Amino acid sequence: MRVCSHPTRREIMAGSLAAALATSVAGVPSIAHAAGGDGVHKLALGDLQITILSDGVLNVPTRLLNRDMNSATIEAALGEAGSASGQVQYGVNIVLVRSGSELVLIDAGAGGTWEPTAGKLADRLATAGIDPGTITKVVITHGHPDHLWGLVDEFDDSPRFANAQHIMPAPELDYWRKVSVETLPERTQGVAAGAKRVIATVGERLAAAAPDAEILPGIAFLATPGHTPGHCSVRISGGAHGLIVTADTLFHPHVSFAYPEWQPAADMDGAQAVASRRRLLDMAAADGLQLASYHLPFPGLGRVERRGAAYRWLSARA
């Protein structure tokens, strides 16, 4: 779906554009596969309606793709998938599932204070004609800023999804609640302090669930620890094969598949993250599952095939 303009969050908050936007999208029919140059992509999965909303992009130095290699070696391995700038760009693709009367958001993006190129979820929801107050559940895969900080409206520090039950894997919530910021390396202290701040702001709306808990019939956590201690993906049943929301199990359309053993700097337990990545990719390849990947290029949809001991990403838009 497409609307004519891209109002900013500030413009929408300022007033009348919101009403105009709601009018302009009201008559757009829901179709099976609607691609969005506007950062909104829709698909059907059985009886479920899935909308993928772009929170923007993150610019990531290539040296962070592998903690054990120098930049030149990483760039060489990236080949055509690399860039001259020494950076790669990650998508930030947020999945919204409508299941009957439930509207389930999986991760909340970066909010407005992490990176200027991200934090666009509120605008994308407006583009899609979705009032944040109608979201019934928010599922958080892990506590990193680009997934968690969008829970809070940076304009008044209030919970953005005021009527939603928030759900986080129990070991993940436990980690961020208990971790002592001062004991962490300086470069990650802001991440932990931010997680604590957001978790406190969301307050009693936030509940812990087991890493294999069913969130709704057909929507369940899938434990994929390593990136963070309680990191989870989300498995959604529907259609012929179903779909996995991969969270940060995958981070790059070439590296995560051709070199699944690479340990990026952001993975807290690199070996455990590699095991989770292989388990998820093996499952998806064997069962023909669709993948909705958070950090691959928008909308991040595709499938995976085995390639010997490695894999290949088959983008749905290729």
Q: Does 153 bind Zn ion (CB under 5 A)?
A: no
> Considering beta carbons, is residue 153 or 248 the nearer one to Zn ion?
248
Q: Does 38 bind Zn ion (CB under 5 A)?
A: no
Cα atoms found within 13 Å of the Cα of residue 3, Cβ hemisphere only: 23
Per-position x/- string for 239-258, each x denoting binding to Zn ion as judged by CB under 5 A, each - no binding: ---------x----------
Query: What's the one-letter identity of residue 72?
Result: A
How far apart, in whole angstroms, are the C-alpha atoms of residue 41 and residue 30?
11
* Alpha-carbon distance values, 255 to 2, 14, 76, 212, 250 (Å): 32, 43, 12, 27, 9
Q: Count of residues binding Zn ion (CB under 5 A)?
A: 2
Q: How far is the CB of 145 from Zn ion (least distance, A)?
A: 8
Q: Which of 189, 214, 260 has its CA nearest to residue 99?
A: 214
Query: Could you tell me which residues come within 8 angstroms of residue 107 by beta carbon, excluding any fewer than 6 positions away?
Result: 94, 95, 139, 140, 141, 147, 148, 150, 247, 294
Q: How far is the CB of 58 from Zn ion (least distance, A)?
A: 8
Asked, as a colleague might, if the bond just before 299 is cis with ω within 30 of 0, I would say yes
> Considering beta carbons, is residue 114 or 259 the nearer one to Zn ion?
114
Q: Does 146 bind Zn ion (CB under 5 A)?
A: yes
> Considering beta carbons, is residue 1 or 88 the nearer one to Zn ion?
88
Candidate segments 72-80, 130-138, 144-152, 252-260, binder of Zn ion by CB under 5 A: 144-152
Q: How far is the CB of 194 from Zn ion (least distance, A)?
A: 13
DSSP 272: H
Q: How far is the CB of 57 from Zn ion (least distance, A)?
A: 12
Contact positions toward Zn ion, by CB under 5 A? 146, 248
